[in-house]
Amino acid sequence: MKDLKKETMVIISLIVLAVASRLLPHPPNFAPITGIALFAAAKFQSKLTALLLPIVCLFMTDLILGLGWINLVVYGAFGMISLVGFLTKKVRIQTVLLSSIVFFGVSNLGVWVLYYPLTLEGFMTCFTLAIPFFTNTLLGDMAYTAMLFYSFSTVKKTYLRTA
């Protein structure tokens, strides 16, 4: 019961972080959702909770920021990132890089299908224009993933020690 309460507090903290980071001014694509997806996949016993957590965080803020067809693609991308977290077992720099690439590829494929001509030229234009956003995606993913894992490790060592 005590572990469930601790996990619940971690979940609530992650949701608060996600909501704040998406609603407060920030550089485009510099967000904690990939870090949350990887953290949840690595730390939560319930795989369903780990899979749904980043999507719930996104959906809650999308209710304020706006919903559209692209949101379904983004939710799918984060579902895939959660699967990357499940499969890799241990989060390393390569895991975060792969997750950033998955998000870039899936989300921009969705942008191309929804908003660009479905031609090779439309595809090339879409992905070329997306390159500057990848830098922020990668930096945000690295920073938030490191912050989440380091913070949790520190809190666990300091405050959540079992006697």
- What local confidence, expressed as pLDDT, does residue 163 receive? 45
CB 34, CB 14: distance < 8 Å = no
Burial degree of 121 (CB within 10 A; 0-12, 13-18, 19+)? exposed
pLDDT digits (tens, 9 = 90+) for 77-96: 999 999 999 999 789 999 99
Contact 54, 38 (CB under 8 A): no
Question: 3.30.2310, 1.10.1760, 1.10.3470, 3.30.70: which CATH number matches 2-158?
Answer: 1.10.1760
Q: Please tell me the predicted confidence (pLDDT) of residue 19.
A: 80
**Which pLDDT does position 3 carry in this prediction?**
65
> Which ranges of the chain have pLDDT less than 70?
1-4, 7, 160-163
Residue 65, classed as helix, strand or coil, is helix
Alpha-carbon span 40 to 50, nearest angstrom: 5
CB atoms within 10 A of CB 72: 12
Query: Residue 27's pLDDT is what?
Result: 92
Strands (E), 115-158: none
Give the pLDDT confidence score for residue 17 in this predicted structure: 82
Q: Using one digit for the tens of pLDDT, what is the confidence trace for 24-48?
A: 899 999 999 999 999 999 988 899 9
Domain parsing of the chain, residue ranges: 2-158
